[in-house]
Structure 1
């Protein structure tokens, strides 16, 4: 049980490392490919778009073949993407490499969640999901610290080639050690050890009737908008724009910037179990006392950072990392909403809809920031300014406003439907 989860989570850590491997070396990528800010944003935008698109076929393949082969193939795709990235001769090929990486990355997290559902008792799945998400974020620390150190100590080819090598090693480990289900089971099923109920685990999204039926329930829409609103600011900062902002605009060294952004992961590890415990004990208060406060905290601290006279003090940036870290655990509450408001046969579809929300908001935030930098004439690292970044980060505000409004609306509709 724990061996399956341990290998799966280690693979997820590696996938997060690969996903965010440009986070601390974005400026190096701009110099290497002679790219402006909007083009740099496209690296992450198209990667996330492919990730989101691949959720549908991944669900189908998981139901057909189980977690082991899908995870192994995902690792191979990520390895190929990183090899192409390592030796890419142009920005177009490099973007294609990130899209290939996104396709491989899309297979990992759903596969790990399937392993959790099959190998652990059903009543522990919520806690294990939170724990999986928390552990996975350690991959961001690897992307923020060892990756740039390796790049500046060796070369672009060695750095991304090393990431590819790690993915190949894990593809072999997964193929050799992971099992789709316990030996006493003949198929992927979830067992509730309290009641004895056995349920077939389904990952496939029903694209015919299921999507419409799931979306018609305000609980699914609440899940979607919760996942849309809570994590995108952290994703945009950690995946691409945080290190350039801290180094080129605020004057921190790459080591100092990595240390500041690493607080995001540490804070998430602390906040996650607290959110999970509160969510389990107060299921009817989650949106009011967990989700919306996490969003409000991000808005307030980001507002303080944007309005503070330059340079922004390190303590405020650390506080920003803590506020952004609240978004990750809060976003996991969205999947609890999806489970609570949908019957078992529609759960995978509702989960897929929910997952799309976070990645849609993330790619929009990343793209809007890149476009705003170009519009202000700050398209290249040597042209980055504190003022340009502040206006660019302000483009996140409409996404927050939209998300908050929709969360409040769907909460009210659920209350009316229940009453």
Structure 2
């Protein structure tokens, strides 16, 4: 097995973290650590082996984003083969989020306890097992169990990638690597929507998921071989910090859930992300086919524009919010933009494809505004519970996405002719079901205007380099 030396650079023994607890909180929240935390790396300047170590979990993140959104391409085939209703399918596909969301609360602890290599390799294998189960399932319940496994394993992907980067790269590189990692996630989503449509012309969807399962095994092996063990000084410091701060976790959580601004922020963020979680991740392709008259090979790339919009606009908003020292204004813009675009998609008649493309890109871009929610959550809470506040925001966001998929399916059931399969759903049924999006965003429009910016302190002590959310 390839074992890398703890002090490869020859610079002597690496220093422990100045604040391992705050670092772990930031990693768990998909954020780069604050600049005040000195993350000494054993490969100064990011030597090629450090880049190789980071690239393996980054590849895993790209992969998990692909399998996250693939049901949106094949949901019509799934309903036909399993003779299920849209509501049942939406519930089973949302099992991904019901595993992913709660795991966000414990992934950081697992990584600190066992390091990045082992847990991430096992997580990739769990994703592969989920893909294999998905391919061989003979019932709709089996598909739900498969999606649960995929979500469980995928919960480690982004967090683990940033974790590895933070250990083996200097602090000045972490924000860059966080942004690149998030961009890879969007690339995975775009690839899934566009390339799976082409793959399905050559093989069945079951064979496609067999291929995904094999890919997971390969990725797991690469991570086990290429990602080095966490250095002993780091593991020792983590153990000491966890022992010192263990009693403060519950008290911090109590403060967070009693903080009105944290609740407002979590609700607004979840509502802005809802079009991504429901439309782009599951129902969007079929909506474009049924309502807008798109062919399947054109609908999947069109939905990918939402991920492109998020990937392009999100980092720009994160950067500019730091420049002007304001966060809440972008969430207000995000709610309004999402409301206008989702309403436009419902009211637009078929045949105006270029307008659909613009609306999809902007709808994804509106979700990019949520990158400011995570530093704002940290700024609204004391230092000892900022990480908990960020995990709460992320947790609620994923729960809303999962419930949204299910609710849209139920609405399709109630409006369709016989409720037996998606072929019975006409354009009017789809438009009625997706009224959930502008309806929820109207509520978000009310909530967001009670949201406030937090008093800003010195940047390097209170804020982190903004990075878009990837799951």
Specify the alignment match of 1:400 in structure 2.
441
Specify the alignment match of 1:110 in structure 2.
159
> How far apart are residue 180 of structure 1 and its match?
5.4
Specify the alignment match of 1:295 in structure 2.
335
SS at the partner of 2:416? coil
Aligned residues: 401
Note the 1:319-338 alignment, pairs <5 A: 319-338=358-377
**Is the contact between residue 197 and residue 300 of structure 2 (CA under 8 Å) also seen in structure 1?**
no
Note the 1:208-287 alignment, pairs <5 A: 208-283=250-325, 285-287=326-328
Q: Quick one: which of 79, 85, 91 aligns to 1:42?
A: 91
Specify the alignment match of 2:467 in structure 1.
none
TM-score by length of 2: 0.78
Is 2:410 aligned against 1:381? Answer: no
Specify the alignment match of 1:196 in structure 2.
none
- Matched residues in 2 for 1:385 and 1:243: separation? 14
- Matched residues in 1 for 2:297 and 2:58: separation? 27
- Matched residues in 1 for 2:234 and 2:108: separation? 20
Note the 1:47-58 alignment, pairs <5 A: 47-58=96-107
Specify the alignment match of 1:193 in structure 2.
none
- Matched residues in 2 for 1:117 and 1:403: separation? 35
Specify the alignment match of 2:395 in structure 1.
356
Is 2:203 aligned against 1:154? Answer: yes
SS at the partner of 1:315? helix
> How far apart are residue 29 of structure 1 and its match?
1.0
> How far apart are residue 301 of structure 1 and its match?
1.9
> How far apart are residue 91 of structure 1 and its match?
1.0
- Matched residues in 1 for 2:220 and 2:247: separation? 25
RMSD after superposition? 2.7
- Matched residues in 1 for 2:101 and 2:441: separation? 20
Q: Which deviates more from structure 2 when the two are superposed, residues 137-146 or residues 268-277? A: 268-277
**Is the contact between residue 126 and residue 336 of structure 1 (CA under 8 Å) also seen in structure 2?**
no
Specify the alignment match of 1:194 in structure 2.
none
- Matched residues in 1 for 2:236 and 2:366: separation? 32
- Matched residues in 1 for 2:58 and 2:318: separation? 18
TM-score by length of 1: 0.87
Q: Which deviates more from structure 2 when the two are superposed, residues 253-262 or residues 395-404? A: 395-404
**Is the contact between residue 58 and residue 157 of structure 2 (CA under 8 Å) also seen in structure 1?**
no
